[in-house]
Structure 1
């Protein structure tokens, strides 16, 4: 099972912060072909983006 690298998520966090992004829309990354469990992926996203006032909208 492949987990999205934390440094890759932090890179996106830095880009959001630098560009004053308030809403981030994304699919359930890693959960289709890669077979990851969404609860684990979403926990990583919450960990990376926890200190930001950022709304994350996830499409299914």
Structure 2
């Protein structure tokens, strides 16, 4: 049976959203270049918050 749930009720992975980290090493040894892929600005903020948590960034 097809998934009829509203897209917002599905997980970011199911919606084709996420964060891509670039393969090159960070010049300062701390920061990483990344691309957040999401359907809206609010979803980008959600992806960035998850990235901060996952990598345990300090500050902003």
Whether TM exceeds 0.5 here: the answer is no
Structure 2 length as normaliser, TM-score? 0.38
With a CA cutoff of 8 Å and minimum separation of 6, indicate the structure with the bigger relative contact order. 1
Structure exhibiting the larger radius of gyration computed from Cα positions: 2
So what's the TM-score if we normalise by structure 1?
0.38
